[in-house]
Chain A
Amino acid sequence: MSYKPSSLQLQREDARRRASRRSTLIAAVSTVAFGLVAVIVVTGAPGFDRVRTSFFSAKYASHALPTVFHGLLLNLRVLIIAEIFVLIFGLLIAVARTTKQPILFPLRLVATFYTDLFRGLPLLLVLLLVGLGIPGLRITWIPNSAVLLGTVALILTYSAYVAEVIRAGIEGVNPAQRQAARALGLSSSQTLRHVVLPQAIRNVLPPLLNDLVSLQKDSGLISVLGAVDAIRAAGIETARSFNFTPYLVAGTFFVLMTIPLTRLTDWLARRQDAKQKQQGRW
């Protein structure tokens, strides 16, 4: 027999449709009102005309585009290298901090000290200390390269952040999982490698990617050491033309560069939520 909704259900669906139409209308009106207020406030500001010509100039934007983009390629190279090392070091530090092997105790101590130190130090300070301090040592086999030392500073700082995220993941894995693995005869390192870490990483993937997004934009900070990245290139253009538009160009590039990873992070987080709801664990 074919199903026909009852009149009660039809009424209910009708009411739902009306409610959702009303929500859409309210959202549209509110968006327009907000937009109008924002436009009026900004364009009505006394210095708006000056800002428009010095920050939003199409002429200077197209002029700066190639050099800023060239600088951005340096940022890309730096952040790809940094991301790889950050993930490796972060993982090693997290494992060192959670290990209970007595022989690795000194390693655990060093790892704890390391994360405490580099989570607390401002990145800018690390960049300056590494970028200016290490060349000051005059060790000949260390190249005095702003790009290299800047990348090292990024890796030092972000490894500490990522290690803490992964450690939280390791400690979040249900102890019963470890026990089940040990009961099957797996050694502690086999348990870590095949049972604990895969689950730990999966659980902290959204915050992990979040840190990588941060790293992407902070790769622009190596410009303080003189590396000609997107920000530095924009600075040079600005100094040449007395117009700030190149900075806006660089900013746009950075936003565009981080958007794919932020979307991926959001998508993963949503998917995890949905999965947990489905399993009734929330």
Chain B
Amino acid sequence: MRTVLEVKNLRKCYGSELVLDDISLAIPEHSVNVVIGASGSGKSTFMRCINLLEEIDDGQILLDGEDISAFGTNMDKVRSNIGSVFQAFNLFPHLSVLENITLAPRLVHGVSRNDAEENAMALLKRFGLAEKARGYPDLLSGGQQQRVAIIRAIATNPKLLLLDEVTSALDPVLIAEVLTLIAELKSEGMTMVIATHEMGFAKRIADHVIFLADGKIHEEGNPSEILNNPQTDRLKEFLGALHSAGRL
């Protein structure tokens, strides 16, 4: 199977603090990869390195075989091929839902307004948000905002979708509607990297689970293996903590 993203010996420091230490990873097309780990383990930084929002300190990142970490890479072009969704939604408050979704297709991908709106409406309709198209983000619930943010990220047909703790700011009912949408994207074959604390969801949706701690991959493999039969002490500790907090 084709490899969409390949990360080789990635290293990232903030000052003297080492945040990502020798991370290597290959992500095949149509695969769903879930990154788990405690807060501060480097999950978000890892995602931000992939879409070039952070400068890396060593290693290499290849998207479709092309080295996007090389000096002089056209970062706008790389980012236009990667969809990113954040914990805090980050919808543009001055634009309507439809304008939020059509902004990048029109400005970056040169799609005409008509085509962009048609495509956006089709996506909104499919995910039950069609009647919100003309509304503004502040009138939507958190779950609706996050679903719009995901639609905004996939409206440009990215090669890879990064979802960084997209349900962490939501209550359980709203979490469910966002997770349903993500499951649907999986069924369509979207290649995804998901950082999450929702272990039940990780178990259901992941093809591959990666456990990060102290900026290192301590364990990775298929979800039932990783989550039911942890090998390293760090992962046992992490899952134990989640269990006693009632999150597993």
Contacts and interface: CB of A to CB of B under 8 A. Distances in A.
Contacts of A177: 90, 92
Contacts of B82: 183
Interface string B48-78: 0001010000000000000000000000110
Q: Which 8 A-B pairs have the closest CB atoms?
A: A185-B80, A180-B90, A184-B104, A183-B84, A185-B108, A185-B79, A198-B94, A176-B90
Contact of B93 (A179, A190, A194, A199): A199
Given A182-B79, A184-B79, A194-B103, A176 B152 contact: no
A116 B84 CA distance: 40
Contact of B104 (A179, A186, A278, A279): A186
Interface in B112-164: 138, 152-153, 156
Contacts of B84: 180, 183-184
A179 B85 CA distance: 11
A279 B138 CA distance: 7
30 contacts: A176-B88, A176-B90, A177-B90, A177-B92, A179-B53, A179-B90, A180-B86, A180-B90, A180-B91, A180-B92, A181-B103, A182-B53, A182-B79, A183-B51, A183-B79, A183-B82, A184-B108, A184-B152, A184-B156, A185-B79, A185-B108, A185-B109, A186-B76, A186-B103, A186-B107, A190-B107, A194-B103, A195-B92, A275-B138, A278-B138
Interface string A158-202: 000000000000000000110111111111001000110011001
Given A183-B53, A199-B94, A202-B94, A176 B76 contact: no
Interface string A10-32: 00000000000000000000000
- The secondary-structure label for the interface of chain B is loop
Given A179-B53, A194-B107, A279-B138, A184 B90 contact: no
Interface string A197-212: 0110010000000000
A198 B93 CA distance: 10
A278 B138 CA distance: 9
Contacts of A182: 53, 76, 79
A111 to B, nearest CB: 25
Interface in A267-282: 275, 278-279
Contacts of B153: 184
Contacts of A184: 79-80, 84, 103-104, 108, 152-153, 156
Chain A's interface size range is: 20 to 34
Nearest to B108: A185
Interface of A: 176-177, 179-187, 190, 194-195, 198-199, 202, 275, 278-279
Contacts of B79: 182-185
A199 B91 CA distance: 12
Interface of B: 51, 53, 76-77, 79-82, 84, 86, 88, 90-94, 103-104, 107-109, 138, 152-153, 156
A201 to B, nearest CB: 9
Main SS of chain A's interface residues? helix
Contacts of B152: 184
Contacts of A183: 51, 53, 79, 82, 84
Contacts of A176: 86, 88, 90
Question: Which of the listed residues B81, B82, B84, B94 has the most CB atoms from chain A within 10 Å of its own CB?
Answer: B94
B200 to A, nearest CB: 28
A187 B76 contact: yes
Nearest to A176: B90
Contacts of B108: 184-186, 190
A181 B153 CA distance: 11
B35 to A, nearest CB: 17
A162 B153 CA distance: 36
Contacts of B51: 183
Contacts of A181: 92, 103
A179 B91 CA distance: 11
A278 to B, nearest CB: 8
A198 to B, nearest CB: 5
Contacts of B80: 184-185
Given A177-B92, A199-B92, 16 more contacts: A176-B86, A180-B90, A181-B92, A182-B79, A184-B79, A184-B84, A184-B152, A184-B156, A185-B76, A185-B77, A185-B80, A185-B81, A186-B104, A194-B103, A202-B94, A279-B138
Given A179-B90, A180-B86, A194-B107, A185 B53 contact: no
Contacts of A202: 94
Contacts of B92: 177, 180-181, 195, 199
Contacts of B107: 186, 190, 194
A195 B197 CA distance: 31
B53 to A, nearest CB: 6
